Structure 1
Amino acid sequence: MNGMRTYSKKKGGVMSNRLVSLCYVAFALLCLASCSNLKYLPEGEHLYVKGEVEINSDTIPERYIGPLSEGLEALLRPKPNTTILGMRPQLYLYNIAGEPKSDRGFRNWLKNKVGQPPVLLSDVNREYNENVLRNRLENLGFFHAQVASDTTIDNRKATVTYTATPHIIYRIKSVTFDVDSSDLGKAIKSAASGSLLQVGRPYNLDNIIAERERIDNELKNKGYYYFNPDHLIVEVDSVAGDHQVDLYVMVKNETPARAKRPYYINNIYIYPNYTLTQRGYQRADPTDGNVYQGYHFIDPEHTFRRFALTNAMILRQGELYTRERHNRTIRQLVGMGSFRFVRNEFVDVDSAGKTTNKLDAYYYLTPMPKHGLRIELLGKTAAVYNGSEINVNWQHRNAFRSAELLTFTVYGGFETQTGGNVNLNSSFYRYGIEASLSFPRMIAPFDWKPTRRFVPRTVFTAGYEFLNRRTAYSLNSMRFSFGYMWRENTEKEHDLKVLEIAYVQPWNITDAYQALMDTVPPLRHAIEPQFTFGPIYNYTRTNTARTDLKHTFYFKGGLDLSANLYGLIRGANVREGRQYQIFNANFSQYIKSEVDFRHYMKLGTNATLASRAMAGLGYSYGNSTQLPYVKQFFSGGPNGIRAFRARTLGPGSYTPEFYGENNFFADQTGDIKIELNTEYRARLNSIVHWAAFVDAGNVWLQNSDPEKPGAAFSSNFVNEMAVGAGLGLRFDFTFLILRGDLAMPLRIPYRPKGERWLFDEINFRSPDWRRNNLVFNLAIGYPF
């Protein structure tokens, strides 16, 4: 425990004081916002604070009443003023702003941009809301629903309660596709097997609308370009009685003739350099432009190589029009990343003055600016460490006229210790350069097309970085990689680096750091020369984009290999004295695997339970005894176990050491990692969210190290898990999420057995306890 407290005093005291000050300010602001808004109400008016719906039914199962009530309440208008912890700060700001003297200035901004005008009871049209609720219930199959309302007033605050009596729901008795024997009728009838309208299910207008759109999509993929859902009608007959209805799917009599026949693709025209300043779409004559593989190119300036664009075209001349090929073509062109706008249109082909069942396709592609420059200036703060970083990114789109993306990035930054006792790791600066060339296609010695739905990419990357810890050491790092990225579908993504090479060499090691390495050998691992080479593969699968699901997930699994075949050929075995070098560095031989699984469960419209399980395993052999420093795992920090600072936890039950009053080295890494997190997230208002979380985990070494007792992984690993918990606030500004988490350790693995749980030591009233145990993390985005 003494080790942790010493660490916290050095790195947590300033932040804890700042946190306490921020809490006082926040508390004062909340108290200010909680002041009564009622005194600002006009005479005789009441503040509308809530609209609620109560379901009065003995025919609806209990588990459906809550969701039905929530869905109906979402339809009520107007919405009450936004609340935070029961208070209405935006309404308060609107009130205290008074009447602005002009439509400019701070007072006007505060009142009309930040504040909210009061929502009064007189603004509520109860009859309108009753009709809306009744109509919604009928659309859900409650044909004879009744809705009544009542108002409750307490201290000038009004609540309107709507009581809905749905009665018995109507169900589908039969579904008949009442169509003729034409080609269109046969196409509609063939789509009946996948109908959303099923006998026995409740009548639902939403399902009827979705069924019309489903049939339309089926027809679009059979060439019926001009057909649309409005050409279908679903008649409902409730004569059957017994709360049942018969449904009849029919084509409207007024459906135009061209909507009843399939269409084929005639000529395809591509304008690769179309500008929005052009007046209208200049259609070309079939004999104009260059014809390549059946496509007509109108590109006098030859801005793009034609093969690059034809590779993206799924729609082909002479084929039946289908929406699937149409959408895939658009998606491929957009996915190339070279065009700001992709527009297309289909035009009827006339023959001898008569319209045929053929379409000419026109694609108008507006390129992005060829060159782009972006400069980013970042500020960073963590505990007593502060720094800044600048990134200059230059891009050349369409570098070789085939939609390639050439990128050069130059960056530099520094970090310095502004509080606590200065140590050898107290400050550093770094700078580097990276070049990347991305091709929107697979470049391989054989024909390989893993997907046609999305644009695959071939990526070459090379970079150099110089890191200078001025009072300790410097590192030169070089890296190169070549590989592929592709999406299998909307949920599955692959990233294969066929070869990644990384080379790290130390330079200018100071006498002070050298003296510490002689005393503490594990410190040498951070600056050992490193050479890794081999393939890396990552697979990602997620359905988190689905907003209609209660349960969603994210999975990422990776495999990192280095020098496996080369080490085998050389017969490397460091334990037997056979260790080999490449460019004056012992090459690393290992297998590293990592998995990250996340699960999200909706607990209503405003709450989610998010959980994560991570595991990483590095197995070093042959030429190595442990993973290289840059490949090892670490724990703690704002995206890990938040009750511990980054790289300060583990490995195993090893106790972090303090090498002198001014030389604490916090970096603790391992070859094996296990981490579990769970977090309850709830929305307070449109931008403010809160969370309660528990984190657990640690890192371990693959092999025992006499310099780090207790660091090796064993069957006793569960007893070496660290546990932390805390609360957080998140501010969702759409373009970024600002997150602040306050955590405390509940279990410390390097304390003596039997003393690792800290529940009996928690004392929020004690300043020393708060200073030594509360850890504040400020970050961008969610932790997982």
Structure 2
Amino acid sequence: MNLRRIANLPVYIWAFIGLTLFSCNVTKNVPDGKYLLKSNTLHFKVDLPLTKKGELKSNIEKIIVQKPNSAFLGIPVKLIRYNTGYKKFSEDPQNYQIKNKTVEPPVIYDSTLKKRTALNIRSFLFNKGFFYATVTDTTILKNKRAYTTYNVDAGTNYLINKVTIDVDDKIAEKLVNESMDLTILAEGADFSYDLCEQEKSRITNLLRDYGFYNFTSDNVSFVLDTVNKQYFRDIENPFESAINFVAFQKNNKKPTLDINVVIRDNDGNAYKRYGIKRVRVMPDFQTGKDFRDPKMIQTTVDSVQFRYHNRYVHENVILQHMVVKPGRYYSQTEYDQTLSHMNDLGVFSSVRMTYRPDTTIDPYYGYWLNANLLMSPADKYNYNTSWELSNGTTYTAGTNLTLSLRNNNFGKGANLLTMSVTGGLESYFDSSDAPFFQHFKLLTKTVGANISLDLPKFLFPISHEKVSSANLPRTIVSVGANLLDRINYFRLLNVSTSFMYKWRETQTKTWEISPIFVNNITVSHITPTFQERLNSNSFLRNTYSTTLIEGENIAFTYSDKEKKHSLNYNYLRAGVEEAGGLLKTIGSALPLENVAQYLKFDLDAQHFFTYAHSTIATRFLAGVGIPYGKETSTLPYIKQYFVGGAYSLRGFRIRTLGPGSSYIPPSTIGTSVIDRTGDIKMEATTEYRFDIVKLFSGAIKMNGAAFADAGNIWLAEPSAGFPNGNFDLKYLGRDLAVDAGVGIRLDLSGFFIFRIDAAFPVKKPGGYFNSEEEATQNGYNFYGKGGWVLDKIDPASSEWRKKELVINFAIGYPF
């Protein structure tokens, strides 16, 4: 690299070099005789699988008492900022920058804190069932820096051998024993006190679901017996016992323990079973005076009393989603479900339920509770405006404006009515000699109007009595019209309608079924120039044609994020869609033309490995559309796949890849193919997300990411217009595109995430050719041997950055 290219390095590279050099002098404000804590190193030894070992190690790192200054890419930026303003910060320790942790004073090594750390680690491992863990530490002091190393040997953890139950109430004992097939304390499992706490919660929730209103986790305790009978078969011979212990250790057999679950009534109230006597619902509750206000409207439906200021929502809507009912035993689960269902309706800003024992009934006739469901109405209307700016390969600048209005309680039935209008423009820059503002030529206009009605129940032909409210059934009906006007190309109008059922099977499983959807696509105003292109390319001709789509689809979603509390969780969505079968069956009786017939299969699989301050997010995305029938061999335009952009392969601009390794001759806007689409799609992404800095006491978090994406789109059948564009498994490696990049994310208290990703290609679709001429003759773009462009990556080159570096601005994570 010559001196001129070095001088032309981007500003951010010079800034990184400067920070690196500056970080070499971070100890200048450390007092004499003191040391800056530079690093903590943890050596952890444990006999566990790699993933479990990594999780344990990550948790241990969290409880190390004294930690070094935070760093970004190995550079202690906050410490450098503190040293830069040392005089100001040292004279004002309460400075707001120190309080908000945008700067950090040097962390001075304190040897006494190592003892607290060792105690924390041993206590943590003890709770995990490692009763004999050892912790040692060493510290190297050099050049006013301290480097601490912790050596942790967890030893052997205990396994659960046998679990017994000791309950001083016959009904509670029967219920607990009948539920032991669901126990958390499974025989042979690694013991930990966390499992005991989970079992305590399970037993508590079980008994509270059967009316034991006063029962709490304090009524449950555990007695552990760690004396392994296998070690001490002959208690009168200590030598045999010692020999047995050593033998078991050599054979990698772990010691076991027995657990006795003890359940006791500590105050005489734990085993009183309560029923629900009266339920009162107040949908527009204001203050406690509402209980006695004679002016309020009062009605009783199905033994449930309603009190209103104004009839805000129909009683039947609430009853269909309320699980707590009079005449049933108190249940913690039904209490939780009722609150959850009321919140899911979307018409209440706050929901709470209170219980009070009914003291008017003699205990001889049982114990009873009166329930009050108190709710406050949410705003009936929500307004939203969305404005976007963008750019792409096929256009220079684009803008889109969306206005939406939502009625949260349409017809007083908790029905969500959403109406939206949208409009957008895309333009390209003409490099002619015209005045500046005349350089921008209009390329695309879009306008649309959509309306949807989301009802909190199943409509015909499914009766709501046949569906439990716990499944959160919903019916969604939508209608819309959207116009896409590609200036100098064509005009496409899509009129759509759909009818969908949606419900939750379990906490982790959700289903969506649309028994019917219709899209009527009309393509008009095709220009002569574009028509010539269509005439020479059957794929494009079928893509941009008037089409009628009628079909049905089903989608299944599995997500254990909530169940696993966002720790090492999974997400899976699989969908199937069919179109044309019904219309073709009855088509002989109807004058129907250009009916689309296809099958589509889509899969989205994600897994997240979560750590203390980072997450590894992985995703595999695949889709295939199979056209069938005699009229067309191509998917309709709106059903085709594309890749690239902020939520796909981020090193490539949206709709600029594929299909396959097909060769697209270099051309100017006006004659090039507008969108690159296909019948088959495949993507894979791995992203490492990590914390950088918290601002304003954590209200704003700046996080970073490093990622790699791979994938492409293909045609289902060969096309003369796109040579090498069809899918063939043996050419998968040739056709795949690969990119890499880094990103910054600003997280505003979890409500809003602004994302900037910078990415560039490392492999482009193409075969192994020695020259561009050879590649072109064989129908390929030439990017390098095998398509790899690693040798062409040159961040110092402004030309490379202009052509290859793609900056994506987006809201939210890519997945």
Class of the TM-score when normalised by the shorter of the 2 chains: 0.7 to 0.9
Cα separation, partners in 2 of 1:65 and 1:502, compared to 1, 3 Å? closer
Q: How does 1:30-429 map to 2 (within 5 A)?
A: 30-31=19-20, 34=23, 36-55=25-44, 67-98=55-86, 108-109=96-97, 112=100, 114-122=102-110, 125-164=113-152, 166=154, 169-170=157-158, 172=160, 174-198=162-186, 203-237=191-225, 245-252=257-264, 255-275=266-286, 278-279=287-288, 282=291, 289-351=298-360, 356-382=366-392, 385-418=396-429, 427-429=443-445
Cα separation, partners in 2 of 1:514 and 1:248, compared to 1, 3 Å? closer
Cα displacement (A) at 1:52? 3.8
The amino acid that maps onto 1:85 is L
Cα separation, partners in 2 of 1:315 and 1:711, compared to 1, 3 Å? same
Residue of structure 1 equivalent to 2:581: 564
Cα displacement (A) at 1:307? 0.9
SS of structure 2 residue aligned to 1:257:
coil
Inter-partner Cα distance in structure 1 for 2:209 and 2:551: 45
Q: Residues 31-83 of structure 1: CA distance to partner in whole angstroms, max 9, x if unpaired?
A: 476353222334443222333444578x8899976554433222112433221
Cα separation, partners in 2 of 1:322 and 1:632, compared to 1, 3 Å? same
Contact 1:85 1:684 in 2 (8 A): no
Cα separation, partners in 2 of 1:28 and 1:503, compared to 1, 3 Å? farther
Which structure exhibits the higher relative contact order, with contacts defined as CA atoms closer than 8 Å and separated by 6 or more residues? 1
Cα separation, partners in 2 of 1:370 and 1:526, compared to 1, 3 Å? same
Cα separation, partners in 2 of 1:739 and 1:644, compared to 1, 3 Å? same
Which has the larger displacement, 515-524 or 419-428?
A: 419-428
Inter-partner Cα distance in structure 2 for 1:767 and 1:487: 53
1:530 and 2:547 matched: yes
Q: Residues 428-458 of structure 1: CA distance to partner in whole angstroms, max 9, x if unpaired?
A: 2322222121111111134254553232211
Q: Residues 308-362 of structure 1: CA distance to partner in whole angstroms, max 9, x if unpaired?
A: 1110112221112222222222222111111111100111112356594111111
Cα separation, partners in 2 of 1:445 and 1:549, compared to 1, 3 Å? closer
Residue of structure 2 equivalent to 1:762: 791
Inter-partner Cα distance in structure 2 for 1:101 and 1:129: 29
Residue of structure 1 equivalent to 2:459: 443
TM-score scaled by length of structure 2: 0.81
**Percent identical across equivalent pairs?**
21
Contact 1:349 1:357 in 2 (8 A): yes
Residue of structure 1 equivalent to 2:594: 587
The amino acid that maps onto 1:541 is Y
Residue of structure 1 equivalent to 2:625: 617
Contact 2:660 2:713 in 1 (8 A): yes
SS of structure 2 residue aligned to 1:369:
coil
Inter-partner Cα distance in structure 1 for 2:667 and 2:161: 80
Aligned residues: 747
Inter-partner Cα distance in structure 2 for 1:297 and 1:29: 69
Which of 728, 735, 738 matches 2:742?
Answer: 728
Inter-partner Cα distance in structure 2 for 1:777 and 1:155: 42
SS of structure 2 residue aligned to 1:667:
coil
Cα displacement (A) at 1:420? 7.6
SS of structure 2 residue aligned to 1:405:
strand
The amino acid that maps onto 2:761 is M
Cα displacement (A) at 1:280? 7.0
TM-score scaled by length of structure 1: 0.84
Cα displacement (A) at 1:369? 0.7
Inter-partner Cα distance in structure 2 for 1:463 and 1:625: 27
Inter-partner Cα distance in structure 2 for 1:215 and 1:666: 62
Unaligned runs of at least 5 residues, structure 1: 1-18, 573-579
Contact 1:398 1:405 in 2 (8 A): yes
Cα displacement (A) at 1:476? 3.1
Residue of structure 2 equivalent to 1:482: 499
Q: Residues 190-247 of structure 1: CA distance to partner in whole angstroms, max 9, x if unpaired?
A: 4444433355555422222222112112212222121011112223355678576553
Cα displacement (A) at 1:154? 2.6
Contact 2:451 2:480 in 1 (8 A): yes
Inter-partner Cα distance in structure 2 for 1:516 and 1:401: 54
The amino acid that maps onto 2:163 is V
1:664 and 2:649 matched: no
Inter-partner Cα distance in structure 2 for 1:128 and 1:772: 54
Inter-partner Cα distance in structure 1 for 2:545 and 2:48: 69
Which has the larger displacement, 311-320 or 244-253?
A: 244-253
Contact 1:264 1:321 in 2 (8 A): yes
Cα displacement (A) at 1:272? 0.9
Which has the larger displacement, 745-754 or 375-384?
A: 745-754
Cα separation, partners in 2 of 1:37 and 1:420, compared to 1, 3 Å? farther
The amino acid that maps onto 1:655 is Y
Contact 2:297 2:307 in 1 (8 A): yes
The Cα RMSD (Å) is: 3.9
Contact 2:625 2:635 in 1 (8 A): no
Contact 1:652 1:717 in 2 (8 A): no
The amino acid that maps onto 2:312 is T
Inter-partner Cα distance in structure 1 for 2:191 and 2:803: 58
Cα displacement (A) at 1:407? 1.5
Residue of structure 2 equivalent to 1:500: 517
Contact 1:45 1:122 in 2 (8 A): no
Residue of structure 1 equivalent to 2:249: none
SS of structure 2 residue aligned to 1:45:
coil
Q: Residues 82-122 of structure 1: CA distance to partner in whole angstroms, max 9, x if unpaired?
A: 21121111222233345669999xx9558845223332224
Contact 2:660 2:727 in 1 (8 A): yes
Residue of structure 2 equivalent to 1:3: none
